[in-house]
Amino acid sequence: MKNKIQEYLLQLNHPELDQKFISEKNIKLIAIEDNKINLSIELNFPFKSQITLYENILKDGLKKITDLDIVVTWSLKILTRQAQKGINPIKEIKNVIAIASGKGGVGKSSTAVNLALALSYEGASVGILDADIYGPSQPQMLGISQKPNSKDGKSMEPLIAHGIQVMSIGFLVDQETPMVWRGPMVTSTLEQLLKETNWDNLDYLIIDLPPGTGDIQLTLAQKIPVTGAIIVTTPQDIALLDARRGLKMFEKVNIPILGIVENMSTHICSNCSHEEHIFGKDGAIKMCSDYNMELLGSLPLDIKIREGLDKGNPSLISNPDSDISEIYKSIARKSALKVAGLAEDHSNKFPKIVIQQS
């Protein structure tokens, strides 16, 4: 009976993604006693809003195997996954997810902040680093403007907004001060913001990259351990062309692409409910097909997204149960499941060998 139960669990596909989501390591207990089956399952991606759905899927299938009562205990343990070779993990950060776009104006920053909040909503410990040195937007989007504290005069404490840890150059300079810096200064500042911030036990750090494939993206690839990247685009041909360049850049530096998010996929008129594909149709679907990538989700062009971010009150906070928030949560779960499918990083488990002369 135990073998049949385990076989069933191992063949289950995730309801949102064509990927198995329970492995042998996830199954902590299968016990049969007193006409009852006790299951203990530890997942490696956040899933708080989906417990009832997952439990129903398990029980519906197991009813075909047994008529015993089934009790499921769920737990969460997010692991550190491998990044680029030769780059050591950052203390207190398990996984770094880069949010990128080939061009500006496609909603990359709005996706980054709502994705971070969605991962937190699902039960993960999350931070967001605003890596757009020239045009930081996360302070406005998250409604925070104070300067970070320093306990030792050398490092900074991240600010907290809506339950997530945040760091941005926008906290350190006047809002209207232009950053007239050359590339080396910008990349040095990015490294400082990342490595001199006292992040507190993060499961995921979301990095909101500037658009393009320039100095900051190169620094990210060469010096920062990135678990995976998400490409944000619109269906428009020009945006897709730039998104393809961004995708190719990550492939060249051996950073896995977790998937693609399509913003502004459609617009529904708030007066007459007419639906119109303002920026084109199915562009991201074709791009995913061309590169064998996952379409993590498609978001509408909706005034509520913009209004919430302008007020520092993103969709996940202002209306966490709305259709838009549900899309963001789905994107977050799919992204985290993709991360969970990557190879685990064991570098911190190996003993340090010290050679001493006697």
Is the same domain home to 157 and 19? no
Q: Of 167 and 131, which is predicted with more confidence?
A: 167
- Residue 81 is assigned to a structural domain of this protein: no
pLDDT category of residue 89 using cuts at 50, 70 and 90: confident
Task: Give tens-digit pLDDT for 36-67.
Answer: 999 999 999 999 999 999 999 999 989 888 88
Whether residue 283 is found in the same domain as residue 333:
yes
Report the pLDDT value the prediction gives residue 180, as an integer from 0 to 100: 65
- DSSP 8-state class, residue 220: H
- Residue 254 lies in domain: 93-340
230 belongs to a structural domain: yes
Query: What is the average pLDDT score of the chain?
Result: 88
Number of domains the chain is built from:
2
Q: How far apart are CA 352 and CA 358, in angstroms?
A: 18
Give pTM, 2 decimals: 0.91
CATH code where residue 231 lies? 3.40.50.300
Q: What is the pLDDT of residues 272-305, one digit of tens each?
A: 878 888 888 888 899 999 999 999 999 998 888 9
Longest CA span, the chain: 84
Last residue of a domain, one of 17, 44, 76: 76
State which of 45-54, 84-93, 207-216 shows the largest mean pLDDT: 45-54
Residue 182 in this model has a pLDDT that exceeds 80:
no
User: 31 vs 40, 57, 72, 109, 129, CA distance in Å?
Assistant: 9, 19, 11, 46, 44
What CATH number is given to the structural domain containing 38? 3.30.300.130
Which segment of 86-90, 211-215, 322-326 scores lowest on mean pLDDT?
Answer: 211-215
DSSP, collapsed to helix, strand or coil, labels residue 70 as: strand
pLDDT grade, residue 177 (50/70/90)?
low
CB 96 within 8 A of CB 224: yes
**Angle, helices 237-252/283-291, rounded to nearest 10 degrees:** 30
Q: Are strands 159-161 and 164-168 parallel, antiparallel or unpaired?
A: antiparallel
Q: What does the alpha-carbon distance between residue 179 and residue 338 come to, in Å, rounded to a whole number?
A: 36
Q: What is the model's pLDDT at position 52? A: 94
DSSP sequence for 29-66: EEEEETTEEEEEEEESS--GGGHHHHHHHHHHHHTTT-
What's the pLDDT at 278?
Answer: 85
The two structure tokens encoding residue 251: 């492939």
Say whether both 200 and 59 belong to one domain.
Answer: no
Question: Which amino acid type is present at position 21?
Answer: F
The reply to whether 67 and 174 lie within a common domain is: no
pLDDT score for 48: 95
What proportion of the chain, given as a percentage, has pLDDT over 70?
94
Judged against a pLDDT cut of 60, whether residue 352 lies above it is answered with no
**Does 88 fall in a domain?**
no
Q: Does the pLDDT of residue 87 top 60, yes or no?
A: yes
Between 165 and 250, the higher pLDDT residue:
165
Q: Note the pLDDT of residue 183.
A: 67
Lookup: tokens for 274 = 């007419």
Q: Which is higher by pLDDT, 352 or 294?
A: 294
pLDDT of residue 252: 85
Asked if 83 contacts 344 with a C-beta cutoff of 8 angstroms, the reply is no
Q: What is the pLDDT of residues 248-271, one digit of tens each?
A: 888 888 899 999 999 988 887 778
What's the pLDDT at 109? Answer: 93
CB of 102 within 8 A of CB of 234? no
114 and 257 share one domain: yes
pLDDT digits (tens, 9 = 90+) for 102-150: 777 888 999 999 999 999 999 999 999 998 887 788 999 999 988 999 9
The answer to whether position 17 is within a domain reads yes
User: Which pLDDT value is given to residue 353?
Assistant: 53
| Domain assignment present for 186 | yes
